[in-house]
Chains A and B, each alone.
Chain A
């Protein structure tokens, strides 16, 4: 199934996940059978990077825990960095969450921030490095045994997990579950249901209230996930388009592409950090809302 390399196929290649799922013929990662997989399919590349970067986060922070509990020794190296992160998160939790005592919020915010930051940073790796490397490795090791890997290009590998809506919405979903959990445990089922049904029009228009409040309630996690996805997806898209400038086989355009890539990468660093921060801040904000009884 050799395909001619066109701009369209190039972009398509970069936007397709390595998807494994169940087809009528059994489990497979064949990109041509994605349509048959239905819901029970997994984006293996996104999940791989997501888990790898999450593990990196856990590993680095675990290493940074001082071996002794002796607080007399001054922190050094990695511990300084880790403490800086924690202080940053503590400050934000303090300002958004106020006096509410909840030991989960700060670790949650820390995990979300560092993890998303790491995932976003994968965007700064030049767009072809890892997919091509992974394609060649896959072809080298599995080219003969696996039917659908018939060339390095037939192996799809998307590197930035946050450009996959499943990943961002998945995290938003986890936050959503926590929001519901705390809404019920802190406010009680009754107050929570009342909050969803008795505003804004009072008890005579409960169905209308419920629809309105439900839209409001559901919109939060969806906007949370889509915001991160949209920003990173657009950023990735621009990197791909800049990389496409090499297709013209012209030195001036290539140099221009190099310059543009540099400028966009510098600018993208800002987006990477900002989106990670926004996701964290909104996570804290939504959870603090779950702790407060709303007053209308």
Chain B
């Protein structure tokens, strides 16, 4: 267990091995590792970015969908109001039409009635005069009592 030249030899051997490792072993392995590390971190970053853009797209999609939904609802509402308006208008028109028809019908009826009454009145007076002539003979003529007859007709 003496200290001898082995010590120096070992120091030299160590320096040689360290030099080999330093020059030929370590740098290539380390550079591959660092390259891979960089690639992985780049990949992760890209994945994160893709995730973010997906999130964004989802948000945009949701927004668009909501807008479309609200638009559709608006359109539906408008259509509904329009429909009810149309129905309302139509029914109003129909009512007024009906009223008009009723009114014209009642006027026509009145006219008819009046006409019939007039006719009836005329015929009545004729009948009365005829009958009276027959009873009274020629004493009474239509011409003589024109005025009285007219008065009577008016009273009828």
Q: Chain A interface (Cβ within 8 Å of chain B)?
A: 15, 17, 19, 21, 34, 37-43, 46-47, 50-51, 54, 57-58, 61-62, 64-66, 69, 71-72, 75, 82-83, 86-87, 90, 103-104, 106-108, 110-112, 115, 164-167, 169-171, 173-174, 177
Contacts and interface: CB of A to CB of B under 8 A. Distances in A.
B1 A15 contact: yes
Contacts, number: 131
Contact of A41 (B4, B22, B27, B31): B4
A86 B25 CA distance: 11
B15 interface: yes
Interface string B4-45: 111111110111011011101111111111011001000000
26 contacts: A17-B1, A21-B4, A39-B5, A41-B4, A41-B6, A50-B10, A50-B13, A51-B13, A57-B21, A87-B33, A103-B22, A104-B18, A106-B30, A107-B21, A107-B25, A108-B18, A110-B25, A112-B18, A165-B3, A167-B6, A169-B7, A170-B7, A170-B11, A170-B13, A171-B10, A177-B11
Contacts of B2: 34, 41
Contacts of A51: 13
Contacts of A40: 4-5
A58 B14 CA distance: 12
Secondary structure of the A side of the interface?
helix
Contacts of A38: 4
Contact of A54 (B6, B17, B33): B17
A103 to B, nearest CB: 7
Nearest to A90: B30
B11 A86 contact: no
Given A50-B13, A82-B29, A174-B15, A166 B7 contact: yes
B29 to A, nearest CB: 6
B6 A166 contact: yes
B1 A46 contact: no
A229 to B, nearest CB: 10
Contacts of A104: 18, 22
Contact of B26 (A107, A167, A171): A107
Interchain residue pairs A-B with the least CB separation, the first 8? A170-B10, A166-B6, A107-B26, A107-B22, A71-B35, A71-B36, A170-B7, A43-B6
B129 to A, nearest CB: 133
Contacts of A66: 32
A58 B26 contact: no
A47 B18 contact: no
A8 B1 CA distance: 16
A115 B6 CA distance: 17
Interface in B66-115: none
B5 A41 contact: yes
Given A111-B17, A171-B14, A174-B14, A65 B25 contact: yes
B7 A71 contact: no
A42 to B, nearest CB: 5
B11 A173 contact: yes
A177 to B, nearest CB: 7
A46 B7 CA distance: 10
Contacts of A50: 10, 13
A108 B5 contact: no
A71 B28 CA distance: 12
Contacts of B5: 21, 39-42
A267 B68 CA distance: 74
A159 B79 CA distance: 100
A170 B4 contact: no
Nearest to B16: A54
B144 to A, nearest CB: 140
